[in-house]
Chains A and B, each alone.
Chain A
């Protein structure tokens, strides 16, 4: 029974901390004040200060994580709403997403291999361009470390937001469609929020690419691992 109360307490605390951090972010809207970052840092600091193990936190945390499955299913909703966009630009979207997906997974794998990164970390890097809830599942499936994958997904999101405009300029990607697909394929939801600066078409392209890249990534992730025999 005390386990149960502990779990409820942890859940309530996490949700409350997140809501407070959301207020903080509204006050200071900088990327490094994103609630997911500040809340995680706060929890880690508290766990370290009170000598609580990660397993101890997960007594409650696992219940929050268990909503990731339905959240992935929920991605069907935006995809359904944008089915017309997908049908209209089917070929460029599918082509762009597939090219982005493979270059993302393979370049991460090769760079990591060359720099002598451990195997379980290489496997955690592979799904980094895919939206977090799905990336966690892919990492678990191919034998990576899900917590590390979450961090890599965040880094992919931030670097896309910060460096994306420069990359697009260098590569002469001028169409809204190309920009949207680039952001969605490389930097998932964070990239999609950046795509708002390039107009409505870029946003819907980015969000469709993000979801498509998640679906296809979960299919091709294990295949890439198998192909490269890591």
Chain B
């Protein structure tokens, strides 16, 4: 019974993905169809057009097996044997370095914005405190 539920819910997710793909092609939007589907799904959930119960089992199942789904795509490296030679080392270096930059930038920016937001809250709290006294 649970298996049927999961399959039906995946069908619902599939319909959204196809819908997104159709919108992507009809209106020439440069965003991937599945992302349009994600946004549509999110809107449907937020505005209660689709109860979360209708997809939670299917979504949970798909996401728990997510790595399986990109094995076929990853197997495609078989067509790029040069990856395992010198040029591969250069690419490895680029990706590792860029990941460090990304991590540092995202962390610093969000921490900065967080302290600023907290300070503003404190100021507000102080003002409220003084106006009351």
Q: Is A177 an interface residue (CB 8 A)?
A: yes
Residues on B with beta carbons closer than 8 Å to the beta carbon of A48: 78
A121 at the interface (CB under 8 A from B): yes
- Please, which residues of chain A bring their CB within 8 A of the CB of B105? 99-100, 103-104
Would B63 and A138 count as touching, CB distance under 8 A? no
A interface footprint on B41-69 (CB within 8 Å = 1, 0 otherwise): 11001100000100110111011001111
- Determine which of B21, B87, B91, B102 lies in contact with A100 in the assembled complex, contact meaning CB atoms within 8 Å: B102
Asked whether B126 is an interface residue with its Cβ less than 8 Å from the other chain, the reply is: no
Interface string of B23-52 (1 = CB under 8 A from A): 000000011111101110110011000001
Most buried by A among B35, B38, B56, B106: B106
A54 touches B98 (CB 8 A): no
* A58 lies within 8 A of B72 (CB): yes
- B99 and A186 contacting across the interface, CB-CB below 8 Å: yes
Q: Is A143 an interface residue (CB 8 A)?
A: no
A residues in contact with B18, CB < 8 Å = 69
Chain B residues with Cβ under 8 A from A92's Cβ? 110-111, 113-114, 117
A151 near B60: Cβ-Cβ < 8 Å: no
CB contacts (< 8 Å) of A76 on chain B: these are 38-39, 41-42, 45, 59
Min CB distance B88 to A, Å, is 9
* Contact mask for chain A residues 65-86; partner B; CB cutoff 8 A; 1 contact, 0 none: 1011111111111111101000
Instruction: Indicate if A29 sits at the interface (CB-CB under 8 A).
Output: no
> In angstroms, how far is the closest chain A Cβ from the Cβ of B72?
3
Main secondary structure of the interface of B (DSSP, over half): helix
B100 touches A (CB below 8 Å): yes
- Contact status A159-B72, CB under 8 Å: no
Tell me which of A34, A36, A69, A174 has the highest count of chain B C-beta atoms within 10 A of its own C-beta.
A69
> Which of A89, A100, A103, A147 is within 8 Å of B114, CB to CB?
A89
Q: List 29 A-B contacts (CB under 8 A).
A: A14-B68, A15-B68, A39-B71, A44-B78, A62-B72, A68-B73, A69-B20, A70-B16, A70-B34, A71-B62, A72-B34, A80-B42, A80-B52, A95-B113, A96-B109, A96-B111, A100-B109, A132-B73, A147-B74, A155-B92, A155-B95, A160-B99, A163-B96, A171-B104, A177-B110, A185-B102, A185-B103, A186-B103, A218-B31
Where the two chains meet, the residues of B that have a C-beta atom closer than 8 Å to any C-beta of A are 10, 13-14, 16-18, 20-21, 30-35, 37-39, 41-42, 45-46, 52, 55-56, 58-60, 62-63, 66-80, 83, 87, 90-111, 113-115, 117
